[in-house]
Amino acid sequence: MEIALLGRQFNENIITDPGFVDIFPVSRIPKHMQPHFKPIYRLSEESLDRQDRKKEKGFRIATDSSTLSSVLKWVSDAEVRMQSYIKGNSTPQANLDVLDKLMSARHELAEIMGCKSYAEFAIRPNMAASPDVVMSFLLDLSKTVRKKADEEFKRIQDFKRRFCNERSADLEPWDEAYFTGMMKSSTYDLDSSVISSYFSLSQCLEGLKLLVESLFGATFHRIPVARGESWHPDVMKLSLHHPQEGDLGFLYLDLYSRKGKYPCCAHFAIRGGRRLSETEYQLPIVALVCNFPGSPGSSRSRLNHWDVETLFHEFGHALHSLLSRTDYQHFSGTRVVLDLAETPSNLFEYYAWDYRVLRTFARHDTTGEVIPEKLVEAMNGARNMFVATEFQRQIFYSLMDLTLFGEQPATPRETISVVADLKKQHTSWNHVEGTHWHTRFNHLINYGAGYYSYLYARCFAATIWQEICCEHPLSRCTGSALRTKFLQHGGAKDPSDLLKELAGNSVIRNCSRGIVPDTSSLLKEIGF
């Protein structure tokens, strides 16, 4: 109970204490961003001694993760980016204490269960089987990626120095999104507003429906929501129907951002499927909760492509739940070992980037024109420009999570210093003194000692995509293989057998007493 309460407090603190910075004058914020910020006023320094006492307008910028991401990408004023980065990455302060208590409570639980650490307790049931196996996997990846990540860092730094005409300018963490965005846009002539014009939310939902029909021969139908059934009027309900098999399950969609709502995008299994008798099956019920812009019925709800990828990711989880057919609810859908759970979601991200898929639904919201193939090629090119930097970041996150919940030293160390040391060792970027970004990293709650599973999943998904999906991503044959050899089994079958039967024996390899993914498909894909 204490662990659950601490986790809830950690997440609540992220929502209630996002931090903020006050920026004056308004000209320091791009005009297209100004409507999203709260206007504030102060007495102008020039008018303090005058009778008219003019007010100067500025903006209060909340530094929650989403807003901070936009500021760091689009605001040209380096000082504004710096202030926002430091504030956003040093809140909520209260979570430093919450995390210390959580680490202690989880460690106590692990000891009660006969384990040396919470990491051992959490990983023991998984394919990896032990923290040592995971650590070895992560350290090998870190070494593999480092050279290319350092080269990318230098490219960004050189670009900044040329752009700012300062030969010795340092590259700071608050510069990354701004300058990489500029480099991608200039190299591939990309305009985010042009890209989003092809991805209205309504069209993206149509795309998911077409994808499911093409792969699995099943169709989504909107059905009425009974009185008292929904938690908000914006929620819609869909049934997944197969012409021969009947209804396969039900999906709630709660897609639009609103005040006080759960701030992340996530899949929730409301009810798992299970065999009731030889002729009856309890159908699964799941929900996708997202925070996209707009409102139901809005014709102007556009998604950036990162949101499109997120939607496909969460939809992969939903399909895992909806297509599962297990005897017991405990093994239904995503109720699998943790280091397999993210595989379907990572696999369906590939569909969000493949032109053969995008051309089936991505149409300009004004002209109806199908998204141009050259635009999708440019998007993929930009995506791959700094792939080692992003890969390195995910390795660092995984090492941080594993270390914080690993064996506890006799003298407790501040988590700030632990995270700072890991960042210096395993990334090309500096740690900014006074910041503690990890106190808003809610995966420490949901995936304690398990964040590495995203990297496992990326490796598995890369192999499955190359071996099963890439040649004919929309064929019924591809869908049949995914469903019958993988998705329908949920957690009722040994995960290593599932993977090998779907993608071949080389998809995994043994390491000590555990299992690690084969990394060759992923490393080849990202240019190593």
pLDDT at 47 over 60: no
pLDDT at 50 over 70: no
| Tokens representing residue 207 in the block | 């795309």
pLDDT at 147 over 80: yes
Contacts of 134 (CB under 8 A, 6+ apart): 119, 123, 128, 398, 402, 452, 514
pLDDT in tens, 327-350: 999 999 999 999 999 999 999 999
Instruction: Read off the pLDDT of each residue in 63-74 and give the average, rounded to a whole number.
Output: 94
What residues does 21 pair with on adjacent strands?
Answer: 61
Q: Which candidate in 120, 176, 309, 314 is catalytic? A: 314
- pLDDT in the model for residue 431: 95
Going from the C-alpha of 32 to that of each of 28, 29, 74, 193, the distances in angstroms are: 12, 8, 10, 11
If you search the block for the tokens 């005009």, which residue do you land on? Answer: 31
Give residue 294's pLDDT band: very low, low, confident or very high (50, 70, 90). Answer: confident
Give residue 301's pLDDT band: very low, low, confident or very high (50, 70, 90). Answer: confident
The lowest-confidence range among 200-214, 402-416, 440-454 is: 402-416
Give residue 49's pLDDT band: very low, low, confident or very high (50, 70, 90). Answer: low
pLDDT at 27 over 70: yes
- pLDDT in the model for residue 522: 95
- pLDDT in the model for residue 51: 56
User: Which residue from 351, 302, 384, 386 is spatially nearest to 475, judged by alpha carbons?
Assistant: 351
User: Which residue from 182, 184, 228, 146 is spatially nearest to 395, judged by alpha carbons?
Assistant: 146
- pLDDT in the model for residue 528: 82
Instruction: Read off the pLDDT of each residue in 239-259 and give the average, rounded to a whole number.
Output: 95
The pairing of beta strand 266-271 with beta strand 246-256? unpaired
How far is residue 203's CA from residue 259's CA, in Å, rounded to a whole number? 25
pLDDT at 280 over 60: yes
If you count them, how many residues does the chain have?
528
- pLDDT in the model for residue 409: 86
Cis ω for the linkage preceding 25 (within 30 of 0):
yes
Give residue 236's pLDDT band: very low, low, confident or very high (50, 70, 90). Answer: very high
Q: What is the mean pLDDT of the chain?
A: 94
Q: Cβ atoms within 10 A of the Cβ of 168, count?
A: 5
- Phi/psi of residue 57, nearest 5 degrees: -90, 140
If you search the block for the tokens 């991503």, which residue do you land on? Answer: 473
pLDDT at 52 over 60: no
How far is residue 372's CA from residue 359's CA, in Å, rounded to a whole number? 8
Q: What percent of the chain has pLDDT over 70?
A: 98
Give residue 264's pLDDT band: very low, low, confident or very high (50, 70, 90). Answer: confident
**Residue 314 falls in the annotated catalytic set:** yes
pLDDT in tens, 493-516: 999 999 999 999 999 999 988 999
Contacts of 157 (CB under 8 A, 6+ apart): 169, 170, 171
- pLDDT in the model for residue 63: 96
User: Which residue from 391, 395, 514, 518 is spatially nearest to 466, judged by alpha carbons?
Assistant: 518
pLDDT at 299 over 70: no
User: Which residue from 272, 241, 258, 357 is spatially nearest to 308, judged by alpha carbons?
Assistant: 357
- pLDDT in the model for residue 45: 65
Q: Which residue has the higher pLDDT, 264 or 91?
A: 91
pLDDT at 170 over 90: yes
Instruction: Read off the pLDDT of each residue in 1-22 and give the average, rounded to a whole number.
Output: 94
Please state the separation of Cα 193 from the chain's center in Å: 22
- pLDDT in the model for residue 1: 86
